[in-house]
Amino acid sequence: MARFVCKKCNYRFESYAKNVKKECPYCGEQEIKRELSAQELLELE
Ligand SMILES: [Zn+2]
């Protein structure tokens, strides 16, 4: 599972990476950003 955050309303939702929703299920905003997991943040260093 990957986590995503709506840029407009900050609604957080989860989706399978291969089936990323293109819009916020709450407000319909289409600018969605990926929210990195703690594990991924560690790997960036
Ligand atoms: Zn939204």
Compute the distance from residue 28 Cα to the ligand 1 centre, in Å. Answer: 6
Residue 7 has pLDDT above 90, yes or no: yes
Query: Which has the higher per-residue pLDDT, 21 or 1?
Result: 1
Q: Strands 2-6, 32-35: parallel, antiparallel or unpaired by DSSP?
A: antiparallel
Q: Can you give the residue range of the structural domain that contains 15?
A: 2-44
Rounded distance, CA 27 to CA 10, Å? 10
Enter the pTM of the model: 0.67
From the CA of 1, how far away is ligand 1's center (Å)? 19
| DSSP class per residue in 1-45 | -EEEEETTT--EEEE-GGG--SS-TTT----EEEEPPHHHHHHH-
Residues in the chain: 45
Spacing, Cα 2 to ligand 1 middle (Å) = 17
Q: Please write the tens of the pLDDT for every residue from 9-36.
A: 999 988 876 656 688 989 999 999 988 8
Count of domains for the chain: 1
